[in-house]
Structure 1
Amino acid sequence: MRWFLVAFASLAMVASVHAQDASAFDPPDPATDALVAECLARNGVTMLPDTDVICYNEAIFPEQFLKLNEFPEASKIIITSPGGNVATARMMSAILDRRGEPAIIAGPCMSACAMVLLPGLDNVHIHHTAHIAVHGITMMSYETWWGWLKDDAKPTRSAMMMAHM
């Protein structure tokens, strides 16, 4: 009897996970799919040619995200990123929120990229190509991190040089 209950509970959980997974993405749209494919094939922060769509396919660091201020109003912003700096991602979130365009998350959106989503953009769409991943973050300095690992010891000169490479 116990085996039957465990099997039944497992099937129920699998069905509910599948139902949640199926509703996690926006429905397919051929026009959006074509724009996403074009953005994923590019590198950098650009306007897609002959469109009013911004493609952000880059790490999240100040030099890259500040390019968003250079573009005119867009119908949407497609974002794909391997991650970057968390503090910069928070600033990027504020800029995206102020711009107000719909954001489409497509392809990899790792680490700090997910931080762009978390502060609550008003109009976010998750494309079926999206792969979102987060991990623990910290905003501590290298010296603090080293001390935390090494019983409050100061980092060696060589460790500091390696950290700044």
Structure 2
Amino acid sequence: MAELKETETNQALTEVPVKEQTSDTKKNVLKPKKPTRQQARAVRTSSAKSGKPAPSAEAVVSPAVRAARKIYSEAEREQKLGQIEKQTVRGESIKAAVKNAGISEQTYYQWKKVAGKAPQSDELKDLVKLEEENARLKKLLADRLRKENAELKKKLGLG
């Protein structure tokens, strides 16, 4: 019996380091990451559209990796907005016109919103001043015509 207990404890002692070694080696070995549902769905849908077989999960690029963003100058933005406006006037849909311009719909609407808020050139200020002066002159003319009309009525004896 004593021999049996000694062999069991020896086995138990030898088993513990073995388990520790296997768990340590598992930590050091990197498992390939499984694609997320979105990545797998994107691979399936893109392969279904193109008719090509789906690439392996290793070939899927994570959504965190993106191409560098293109930063457009004000002139480029105005040019693209003008191009889209011309295409929509011709009867093309906004979606198609934006695609032809090479920007996203969200970008188009953001640019359009910013362009609407942007202060206009001096031409707009001049136009507002002209409208104000026009209104003032119309009032002056109306006053003079009323006075002349009243004088004519007095001369004719109608008033």
Bigger radius of gyration: 2
Give the alignment's TM-score, normalised by structure 2.
0.23
Give the alignment's TM-score, normalised by structure 1.
0.23
Compare relative contact order (CA 8 Å, sep 6+) and give the higher one, 1 or 2: 1
More strand by share: 1
More helix by share: 2
